[in-house]
């Protein structure tokens, strides 16, 4: 592996999001919350939902952590220190933990575990699928019975 590949791999280390959090955390500010998510795409799913529930003037910083194992590691490391738990949340996917024991599944008042396999399953529904098909994919002129047929494939 070359130098560039080594540097890319280092960016995915489990301490990187933790170090960013330590650098970003503002002790006196109560308007900023922090969250750790599994993947690089997760902030786009969570941010809008979270910001809609936060009081005006508050915001959240989300740190992709490159997997559930790393979110668990970060959870354990921050739990050892004196950080206000009510400002830090951990978001993890349930995955197959209902049928297979998952050693990386964490629980606590500040941990959100998706109801379904992953957050994408919680957000994407038949209605969302049809709306995207009509609005973005050019299926807006399909008759209702064809849209119902599309739903069955979903």
Instruction: Kindly report, residue by residue over 3-46, the tens digit of the pLDDT.
Output: 666 556 656 678 899 999 999 998 888 899 999 999 998 898 88
Instruction: Kindly report, residue by residue over 85-115, the tens digit of the pLDDT.
Output: 899 999 998 877 667 788 888 888 999 887 6
Residue 74 contacts residue 17 (beta carbons within 8 Å): yes
Chain-centroid distance, C-alpha 2: 31
Alpha carbons 64 and 66: distance in angstroms, whole number: 6
b/e per residue 56-76 (b: at least 16 CB within 10 A): eeeebebbbbbebebbbbbbe
Alpha-helical (H) ranges within 25-118 are 42-53, 68-79
This prediction's pTM: 0.71
């Amino acid at each position: 592996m070359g130098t560039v590949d080594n540097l890319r791999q280092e960016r995915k280390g489990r301490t990187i999001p933790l170090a960013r959090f330590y650098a970003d955390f503002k002790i006196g500010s109560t308007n900023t919350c922090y969250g750790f998510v599994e993947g690089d795409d997760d902030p786009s799913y969570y941010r809008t939902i979270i910001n809609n529930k936060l009081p005006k003037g508050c915001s959240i910083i989300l740190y992709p952590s490159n997997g559930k194992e790393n979110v668990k590691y970060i959870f354990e490391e921050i739990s050892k220190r004196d950080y206000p738990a009510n400002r830090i949340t951990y978001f993890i996917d349930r995955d197959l933990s209902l049928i297979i024991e998952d050693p990386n599944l964490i629980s606590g008042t500040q941990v959100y575990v998706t109801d379904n396999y992953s957050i994408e399953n919680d957000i994407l529904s038949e209605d969302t699928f049809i709306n995207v098909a009509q609005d973005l994919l050019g299926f807006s002129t399909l008759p209702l019975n064809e849209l119902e047929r599309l739903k069955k494939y979903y």
